[in-house]
Amino acid sequence: MEVSVENTGGLARRMTVQVPADRVDQEVRSRLQSLVHTVRLDGFRPGKVPLKVIEQKFGSRVRLEVIDQLVNSTMQEALTRESIRPASDPSVEPKDSRPGEPLEYTATFEVYPELEGDVQYTFTVRRPVVEIGQDDIDGMLDNLRRQRATWNTVERPAADGDQITIDFEGTVDGKAFTGNQAEKLPLVLGSGSMIPGFEEQLTGVAAGDTKDIEVTFPADYPSAEVAGKTARFSVKVNGVAEMALPELDDAFAAAFGIAAGGMDGLREEVTNNMKRELKGLVASRLKSQVFSGLLESNPVDVPKTLIETEVREMQAMQHYQGQPVESLQADAERRVKLGVVVSEVARRNQVQLDPDRVRETVETIAASYEKPEEVLQWYYGNQDKLAGVQSSVIEDQVVEWIMEHSGVTVEDENMTFSGIVEEAKKSQG
């Protein structure tokens, strides 16, 4: 078998394969002979149909089947021989192949990129150093109290932190817009749940009040219908209520599933949860910095076909649903490039996927569900879902290897628990 490969620009390749005529003809003859024992034709006893008759009747079809099978098998032989990794299914153009002539075809495709030279780790990572203090724990307990808060009606003007119940109707240039009205909407003043300027203008209102306010929608507001425009709202206040927080006692602890130990038990549970959260936040922050550094230090071109595939996969994710293809291109290209570089780091440094960590990760995910064992079985029965976990685990292993062995510059950065939590919220949008 003869194989030649041509670089047609960038990552594009054209491979020409020629299969010897005797290999093709021998396979055709073998298949025709096998039909002698199975084919039934009028005028001939079973198993007694002459080979020449079978060849005349079935020869063309059998030859096409053989060519199709040989293209598939020799394609893999050729790619292996030339050490080529296609980034997509090759597009094949077979040429006519008559008896006694070799089979020749061309395959065009893009290949996976390879980093030239050594992987570069010329970047700095700032490692968060965070201690969870009593103030952090008290703050978390206060958040839990707020989750169990009740609201008591008051006969006074609303202050920051109060909950008002309102009806409103808005217009832009005198016209209604999508989502411009609501009835009996509970709104906590100072929560930031409405567009900037809305809540601030309602401080001091009382039950029964009506008030007209004007606010300007942010330029990047998701609805293009009103983004950057000024709206006028007519607001009616139905009631004002103040927050009443539960006491931090054994009954409060029991409400969060602490059967023994009361508040001491709840405080210990909260502390352990915060430690687990902190561990994940630190790892995520390091991972983000390492990946950004890898991409900046190791530029690489990637095939368009891989980017297109990544865009399609992103469109299927809930986080990206509804976004136009154009807005996903940059993220998709970054994800593909990162996948190439991370894979290269793992390959060159023999970083092998740890199946125990995969199972531990799946078990952690499953633990948050009512029937963890069923979730565990579902993951291991769904290859796509399991592959997502495996990809995340090998990424974590690569990051750990880089932090320990690559010589990347690591600088400690003191942070507060609330600071790293807030930073994570902002990065997630």
d(CA 178, CA 58): 67
pLDDT at 43: 66
The DSSP line for 93-151 is EEPP--TTS-EEEEEEEEB-----SSPP---EEEEEEE---HHHHHHHHHHHHHHT-EE
Q: What's the average model confidence in pLDDT over 258-274?
A: 93
Is domain 2-110 given the CATH code 3.30.70.1050 in the classification? yes
pLDDT at 268: 95
Is domain 124-130+258-427 given the CATH code 3.90.1300.10 in the classification? no
CATH code of 150-244, in short, is: 3.10.50.40
**With 80 as the cut, is the pLDDT of residue 428 above it?**
no
Question: Average model confidence (pLDDT) for the chain?
Answer: 91
Residue-wise pLDDT for 143-167, tens only, equals 999 999 999 999 999 999 999 999 9
**With 90 as the cut, is the pLDDT of residue 200 above it?**
yes
| Beta-carbon-side half-sphere exposure of residue 130 (alpha carbons within 13 Å) | 23
pLDDT at 88: 82
Bridge partner residues of 186 (DSSP) = 165
Any idea which of 217-231, 303-317, 381-395, 406-420 has the lowest mean pLDDT?
Answer: 303-317
Q: What's the average model confidence in pLDDT over 342-369?
A: 94
Q: What's the average model confidence in pLDDT over 171-192?
A: 95
Calculate what percentage of the chain has a pLDDT beyond 70.
98
Residue 222 pLDDT level (bands cut at 50, 70, 90): confident
**With 70 as the cut, is the pLDDT of residue 224 above it?**
yes
**With 80 as the cut, is the pLDDT of residue 337 above it?**
yes
**3-state SS assignment for residue 374:** helix
**With 80 as the cut, is the pLDDT of residue 346 above it?**
yes
d(CA 152, CA 344): 61
Q: Which amino acid is at 321?
A: Q
Of the candidates 37, 23, 107, 101, the one whose C-alpha atom is nearest the C-alpha of residue 66 is 23
- Give me 17's structure tokens: 């394969």
**With 90 as the cut, is the pLDDT of residue 136 above it?**
yes
Any idea which of 39-53, 161-175, 270-284 has the lowest mean pLDDT?
Answer: 39-53
**With 90 as the cut, is the pLDDT of residue 29 above it?**
no
Any idea which of 96-110, 144-158, 264-278, 314-328 has the lowest mean pLDDT?
Answer: 314-328
Contact 294, 338 (CB under 8 A): yes
**With 90 as the cut, is the pLDDT of residue 119 above it?**
yes
Q: Are strands 91-94 and 12-19 parallel, antiparallel or unpaired?
A: unpaired
**With 80 as the cut, is the pLDDT of residue 171 above it?**
yes
Q: What's the average model confidence in pLDDT over 365-373?
A: 91
* pTM given for the model: 0.72
Residue 45 pLDDT level (bands cut at 50, 70, 90): low
Q: What's the average model confidence in pLDDT over 134-141?
A: 96
**With 70 as the cut, is the pLDDT of residue 355 above it?**
yes
Residue-wise pLDDT for 48-85, tens only, equals 677 777 777 787 888 888 999 999 999 999 999 999 98
pLDDT at 48: 66
Residue 420 pLDDT level (bands cut at 50, 70, 90): very high
- Give me 34's structure tokens: 């096998």
Residue-wise pLDDT for 79-107, tens only, equals 999 999 898 889 998 777 788 889 999 99
Domain boundaries defined on the chain: 2-110, 124-130+258-427, 150-244
**With 80 as the cut, is the pLDDT of residue 4 above it?**
yes
d(CA 411, CA 408): 10
pLDDT at 95: 75
Q: What's the average model confidence in pLDDT over 28-40?
A: 79
- Give me 102's structure tokens: 């070799």
Calculate what percentage of the chain has a pLDDT beyond 90.
74
pLDDT at 36: 73
